[in-house]
Chain A
Amino acid sequence: MEIKLNGNIIDVKENITVGELVSQTEFHGKPLVVQVNAKIIEFNNYDRIINQGDNVKIFNFVGGG
């Protein structure tokens, strides 16, 4: 199924969770801000299923300056 991740359309498996998606990306293991359809997903809700057409944004929170 297709979802939008950070502005790009990508293909993912059906019933993928937020946690599974994160683990497949460069963001794995980093402090993150995750939003699905404009709603913040906290770490304890990473089992949330992502649906076809969902708009997902994942950002790595960083501390340099």
Chain B
Amino acid sequence: MIFEKNIKYFGQEIFEKLKNFNIAVIGAGGTGTPVCQLLVSLGIHKITVYDYDKIDYSNLNRQFMYDENEVGLDKSEILVKKISKRHKNLIVTSEKTRIDEENFIKLQKYDFIFDCTDSFNTKFFLNDLCIKNHKILVHSGVNLHQGQAGIINFKTGGCLRCFIKKKPEEVENINVAHNVMLAATLQVEEFVNFLSQEYYGGLVFFKTKPNIFIKKIQYPDKCDFCGGYRSGN
């Protein structure tokens, strides 16, 4: 049985929850590829990958689901084709769509949305729309030796703007395989933690140079953005 160890690890109840989730992964790049692999490995059966980008040579240093002979092909299609082979119960689909305000409605049907995008612009866009539309967003960001991951939660409050009020200016992101893997792993770990009773909201920040330092920073009590949308308010 494929998931025998998962049931021992998570317990039957959490495993059943995971299996039945319907998940959207936005971005099939550095974090998106390992996130999809990790979600399939958790036993999740329904995943849709959103990406409109094509595979480029510069992706191959870290996006190791793609090969040199696939340069120029659609990322989401190739990723889905490869992870679909893991087991016969998977329903993995691809959407060559750029999510914007008008088509955000496409994401309403998912239980969780994973932000695996690579710009502040898209991250804050997803953050804001998920808070406003009452969707749980599983965030990560990574650049060079630093990153963060966590749950953006409209129910209890907790969003990117709790920490960073204004969307920062874009910078060139310089990423390699092991740093995006770390961000993806923390992103999925926080997602699993979120299902447990002991979970508390915040973002897990990491810094790997000169020494590894990882710390979860709890969301502040007050946020002018997500505070206003908190359940019950």
Contacts and interface: CB of A to CB of B under 8 A. Distances in A.
A65 B211 contact: no
B217 A65 contact: no
Interface residues of A, number: 17
26 contacts: A6-B207, A6-B213, A30-B168, A33-B163, A33-B205, A33-B217, A35-B217, A57-B205, A59-B146, A59-B148, A59-B215, A61-B163, A62-B144, A62-B148, A63-B143, A63-B170, A64-B118, A64-B141, A64-B143, A64-B173, A64-B174, A64-B180, A65-B32, A65-B140, A65-B173, A65-B175
B217 A64 contact: no
B152 interface: no
Contacts, number: 82
A65 B120 contact: no
Interface of B: 27, 29-32, 115-120, 123, 140-144, 146-148, 160, 163-164, 168, 170-171, 173-175, 180, 183, 203, 205, 207, 211, 213, 215, 217-218, 220
A23 interface: no
Contacts of B146: 59-60, 62
A9 interface: no
A43 to B, nearest CB: 8
Interface of A: 6-8, 30-31, 33, 35, 38, 40, 57, 59-65
Interface centre among B163, B170, B171 (most CB of A within 10 A): B163
A43 B119 CA distance: 22
A64 B160 CA distance: 14
